[in-house]
Each structure stands twice: as C-alpha cells, then as structure tokens.
C-alpha cells in the first residue's frame, strides 16, 4: 500500500495499516515533517513530492495494490490517484477531499472513492438535526438512485394511510418503516402512523415529489 | 474568440495582453487580487479600460470559473504556478465545459509527457529550456 502525504491523516493511517500487517510506504514532501515521521516509521517513510512520477516509482507504485492520497491539496490528490490508476494500473485508489465543493472534480475525473471529512461531519450533523424531517441515507449518483428517510408528520397524506394507498410517484417505493426503535418491511396493507420514519428508495430527482406525502399540509399546525 | 486564462503570473499575463492586442476577448482568473498589476505594467490604462476582464478566485472553484466565463470560452490556458492545479483545471475545461482549445503549462517534463499522451495539449517550459540549452552548448563546442 502506498500512502501519499504524512500529515495527521497520513501518519495515523500509515501506523494503523502497518499494525494490521500491511506493507506500507508513505511519501512526505516536507523535509521537517519527514524527519519527525521518520523517527517513528523509519524506512516506511520516503522523502519526496508524491505527485512526481519518479518519486512514486521509487516508492514502488508499480506493485502497489492500493494508493491512498491524503495530502492537504485536492488537486494533488486527484492527480496522484489519476496517475496511479491510469498510468500504473493500480486497482484501488482512495483520495482525501479537503474541500467538499471539490468532490465533483474527483468524480468527473474518475477518482473514487473520495473521502471528505467535512462532508462526513456535515452528514452526521444532518442526521442529528434532520432538516424538514428528511434525511438522505444513500446516494448512488451513477445508478441514479437514492434512499431517503422521512418522518411522517401528523395530518400529512401518509398519516393513517396504508402503504398501497400512499400514492408515491412511479420510481419510488417505501421499503421500511421505523417505529418505536424497531424497523420492519411493510406489507401493502401496513398502516403508516404519524411519528414513523419511512425509508423510501427512489429515482434521483423525485425527492420533491415524494416528500410532500409525508409533510403536514401548508398552514396546518406543526405536529 | 473568447480566451480564458487562469494564473496571472509572468506567463499568463503576457499571453493575456497579447491575445487582447490581437483583438480577442480575454478573461483572466487569479486568486491574488494584486495580480492584475502584471496586466497593467507599462500600460497607461487599466486592464479593464483596455477591454480585458479580471476575476479574483481560486482555480478549482466552479463559481469562480463560471464568473470568469469558462462555459463560453473558445480557448483555455492553464498557467498557474502549480502543475497539478493546471492539469486538473485543464481537464475540467475539456471534459466538463467542452472548451475546444485547452493549453496547459506543466513544468515537470514527466507529467507533461504523460498527460500529452492522454490527450491534453501540454507545454513544458522546462523541456524547451533543456533542449535550447543543450543545443546552445553543442553548437558552442562544435
């Protein structure tokens, strides 16, 4: 495994990977940082600019099973992963995305998965404080599918309705109901209640058609 | 023709001024608001009065690229001081915004050569300098 960038993420990651019995080399371009990390990791760390091809080659990229680019610069991480996959045929790459707004660039240039700590924390915050009772659980942009979790508001069209009468648009399906701390897969005649959380799988873009079924009508007092 | 140039150092600014003189529409993007001084050096008028446009923003930010007009650019020059930045934004210009002519400055000859093979039009000043210096030396020693 080849890790590029021995900052906080890269250093800790390398240590954990070595502890799990992997052969790991980490590349660091800052001389002072390299010396610090070398005291602990010794020969597992190499000094150099990990976006230079010869540095990657010296670190053994040609026989790497996985390349993990975790520098603080998104353009560097994109380039490193692109070159690893397309030039050196590395099968698995993982990139760190520092600015979640750059995720679209990673995607466009075929660098995936890209992991954004900021984005993960944002999602966790959203999970803790769901906006309008709606949470995106899973996005599969390539397959154009998503799974959402919606809270059933009192007085909403879904409240007291059987699943078969839910009148979801084509391309949307209620797949689970979470109630009182447990979940179940509903039958056509399962009755949805206010306070339930319903998992819906749907075609991307249908969310605005689906969510009103679970919201209280305009002007009604909030449940 | 509408030419967009990202990175307004010595190279980017020189190309921008030349393109404007040739009568093209020119938009320059740089993260440093002071970089516009490069365009106004030895000029009596401001860059904007000369007819150019200048946007302050980071090269990777779609909002900045859009503000500078990338979606209607006929030609795109990536000339920031970062090879990786240039290679990423050039690919964005090509693949996302379908800009017809995309030229990238890449200082590292190895990366320049590989991305050239991948279909990017790269210009490597280092390689050009090496060749010229070699020729000059060989010519001198006969």
- Write out chain B's pLDDT in tens, 142 residues: 999 999 999 999 999 999 999 999 999 999 999 999 999 999 999 999 999 999 999 999 999 999 999 999 999 999 999 999 999 999 999 999 999 999 999 999 999 999 999 999 999 999 999 999 999 999 998 7
A56 interfacial to chain B (CB closer than 8 Å): no
Shortest Cα distance, chain B CAs vs residue A178, angstroms: 39
Q: Any idea of the CA torsion for A62, A71, A114, A3, to the nearest 10 degrees?
A: 30
Which residues of chain A have a CB within 8 Å of the CB of B88? Answer: 75, 78-79, 105, 109
Which residues of chain A have a CB within 8 Å of the CB of B111? Answer: 51-53, 79, 83
Interatomic CA distance for residues A107 and A128, integer angstroms:
27
Please say if the pLDDT value at position A222 is more than 70. Answer: no
pLDDT digits (tens, 9 = 90+) for A165-212: 999 999 999 999 999 889 999 999 999 999 999 999 999 889 888 988
A79 interfacial to chain B (CB closer than 8 Å): yes
Please say if the pLDDT value at position A219 is more than 90. Answer: no
Look up tokens 């970062």; give the residue: B82
Mean pLDDT value across residues A7-33: 96
CB contact set of A66 (below 8 Å; sequence gap of 6+): A1, A2, A90, A91, A92, A93, A94
Q: What band does A130 get if pLDDT is binned at 50, 70 and 90?
A: low
* Cα A87 to the center of its chain, rounded Å: 26
Interatomic CA distance for residues B22 and B24, integer angstroms:
6
Q: Is A6 exposed, middle or buried (0-12, 13-18, 19+ CB in 10 A)?
A: buried
Relative to beta strand B2-6, strand B75-78 is: parallel
Query: Are A108 and B114 a contacting pair at CB < 8 A?
Result: no
Q: Any idea of the CA torsion for A26, A31, A32, A33, to the nearest 10 degrees?
A: -20
Please say if the pLDDT value at position A64 is more than 90. Answer: yes
The beta-carbon neighbor of B60 closest among A52, A74, A79 is A74
The beta-carbon neighbor of B92 closest among A54, A86, A108 is A108
Nearest to B11 by CA among B85, B99, B107: B107
Among A66-70, A122-126, B74-78, B124-128, the range scoring the smallest mean pLDDT is: A122-126
Query: Are B92 and A105 a contacting pair at CB < 8 A?
Result: yes
Question: What pLDDT sits at residue A221?
Answer: 54
Which residues of chain A have a CB within 8 Å of the CB of B92? Answer: 105, 108
Q: Tell me which residue range forms the domain holding B125.
A: 2-141
Interatomic CA distance for residues A58 and A75, integer angstroms:
22
Question: What pLDDT sits at residue A124?
Answer: 78
Average pLDDT of the residues of chain A: 91
Among A52-61, A150-159, B16-25, B80-89, the range scoring the smallest mean pLDDT is: A150-159
Q: Going edge to edge, which strands form the sheet with A25-28?
A: A45-47, A25-28, A2-4, A66-69, A92-96, A114-115
Interatomic CA distance for residues A59 and A40, integer angstroms:
18
> What is B52-120 written as a DSSP string?
-EEEE--TT-HHHHHHTTGGG-SEEEE-SS-HHHHHHHHHIIIIIS--SEEEEE-S-HHHHHHHHHTT-
Evaluated on CA atoms B40, B45, B46, B47, the torsion sign reads: negative
Relative to beta strand A172-179, strand A197-203 is: antiparallel
Q: How many domains does chain B have?
A: 1
Please say if the pLDDT value at position A134 is more than 50. Answer: yes
Interface contacts A/B by beta carbons within 8 Å: 45
Mean pLDDT value across residues A142-149: 88
Question: What pLDDT sits at residue A223?
Answer: 44
In chain A, the percentage of residues whose pLDDT exceeds 70 is: 95
Shortest Cα distance, chain B CAs vs residue A34, angstroms: 22
A105 interfacial to chain B (CB closer than 8 Å): yes
More confident residue, A90 or A126: A90
Question: What pLDDT sits at residue A131?
Answer: 61
Supply the CATH number for residue B45's domain: 3.40.50.720
Give bridge partners of residue A178 from the DSSP assignment: A183, A197
* Cα B15 to the center of its chain, rounded Å: 7
Cα separation values, B95 from A99, A128, B6, B66, Å: 21, 37, 17, 15
The beta-carbon neighbor of B96 closest among A73, A87, A108 is A108
Which residues of chain B have a CB within 8 Å of the CB of A99? Answer: 60
Cα separation values, A121 from A77, B45, B98, B128, Å: 20, 49, 34, 47
pTM beyond 0.90: no
Cis peptide before A113 (omega within 30 of 0): yes
Contacts 24+ apart (CB under 8 A), A96-101: A96/A5, A96/A9, A96/A68, A96/A69, A96/A70, A96/A71, A98/A72, A98/A73, A98/A74, A99/A74, A99/B60, A101/B61, A101/B62
Please say if the pLDDT value at position A30 is more than 80. Answer: yes
User: A198: which 2 tokens?
Assistant: 């319903």
Domains in chain A, CATH or no CATH each: 2-120 (3.40.50.720), 130-214 (3.30.70.1450)
């Amino acid at each position: 495994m080849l890790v590029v960038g021995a900052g906080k993420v890269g250093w800790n990651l390398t240590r954990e990977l070595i502890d799990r019995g992997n052969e790991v080399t980490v590349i660091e371009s800052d001389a002072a940082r390299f010396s610090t990390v070398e005291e602990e990791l010794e020969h597992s760390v190499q000094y150099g600019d990990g976006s230079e091809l010869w540095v990657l080659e010296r670190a053994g990229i040609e026989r790497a099973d996985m390349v993990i680019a975790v520098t603080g610069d998104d353009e560097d991480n994109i380039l490193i992963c692109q070159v690893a996959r397309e030039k050196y045929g590395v099968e698995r790459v993982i990139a760190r995305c520092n600015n979640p707004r750059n995720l679209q660039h990673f995607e466009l240039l075929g660098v995936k998965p890209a992991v954004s700590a900021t984005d993960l924390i944002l999602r966790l915050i959203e999970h803790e404080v769901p906006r309008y009772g709606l949470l995106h659980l899973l996005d599969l942009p390539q397959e154009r599918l998503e799974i959402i979790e919606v809270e059933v508001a009192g007085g909403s069209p879904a409240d007291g309705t059987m699943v078969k009468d839910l009148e979801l648009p084509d391309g949307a399906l209620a797949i689970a109901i979470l109630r009182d701390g447990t979940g179940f897969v509903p039958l056509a005649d399962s009755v949805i209640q206010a306070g339930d959380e319903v998992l819906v799988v749907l075609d991307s873009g249908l969310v605005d058609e689906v969510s009103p079924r679970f919201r209280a009508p305009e002007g009604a007092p909030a449940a | 023709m509408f030419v967009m140039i990202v990175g307004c150092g010595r190279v980017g600014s020189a190309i921008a001024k030349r393109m404007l003189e040739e009568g093209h529409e020119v938009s320059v993007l740089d993260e440093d608001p002071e970089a516009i001084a490069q365009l106004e050096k030895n000029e009596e008028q401001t860059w904007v009065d000369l007819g150019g446009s200048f946007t302050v923003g980071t090269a990777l930010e779609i909002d900045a690229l859009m503000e500078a007009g990338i979606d209607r650019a006929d030609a795109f020059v990536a000339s920031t001081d970062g090879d990786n930045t240039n290679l990423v934004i050039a690919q964005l210009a090509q693949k996302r915004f379908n800009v017809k002519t995309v030229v990238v400055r890449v200082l590292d000859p190895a990366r320049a050569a590989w991305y050239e093979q991948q279909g990017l039009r790269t210009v490597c000043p280092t390689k050009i300098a090496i060749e010229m210096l070699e020729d000059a030396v060989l010519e001198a020693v006969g």
